[in-house]
Copies of this chain bind each other. A is one copy, B any other.
């Protein structure tokens, strides 16, 4: 795990190793608060601020992807392109391979889906004009 962080240009600290083991060992979707709660028993002096900074660094390094789902911000350990299903009652987030929802997404893997949101992001024509 150390080598993986080093390969992405990140310094090694106990805090970062803990975050990496939690976030990168298997596919998860966790909010910064959830990460903080899960790690504070192991690192009692840990600060929430450190979690925010660490997740930002991991995102910039390409190790994590920040996603906005149902009004919450969570970090996803799978960075390749895929969709998500989100339960509006319990908040569960599940990965969906892009191919699984090409048509008629009203029932997906035993979910009852009643809404789909698709957002494309980038630069609008005006900002492109201004800054290339």
Interface contact B117-A121, CB-CB below 8 Å: yes
For A1, the chain B residues whose CB sits under 8 A away are none
> Do most interface residues of chain A lie in helix, strand or loop, or is the interface mixed?
strand
Distance to closest chain B CB from A88 (angstroms): 5
Q: Of residues 53 to 97 in A, which have CB atoms within 8 Å of B's CB atoms?
A: 67-71, 73, 81, 83-90, 92, 94, 96
Copies of this chain, complex-wide, total 2
Measured in the bound complex, the distance between the Cα atoms of B123 and A109 in whole Å is 11
Most chain B beta-carbon contacts within 10 A, residue among A84, A87, A92, A123? A123
Please tell me if A25 contacts chain B, counting CB pairs below 8 Å.
no
Distance to closest chain B CB from A77 (angstroms): 16
Measured in the bound complex, the distance between the Cα atoms of B26 and A41 in whole Å is 52
**Which residue of chain B lies nearest to A91 when distances are taken between CB atoms in the complex?**
B124
Distance to closest chain B CB from A116 (angstroms): 5
Contact partner, A121, options B115, B119, B127, B131, Cβ 8 Å: B115
Please tell me if A44 contacts chain B, counting CB pairs below 8 Å.
no
Interface contact B92-A124, CB-CB below 8 Å: yes
Interface contact A90-B121, CB-CB below 8 Å: no
Distance to closest chain B CB from A3 (angstroms): 28
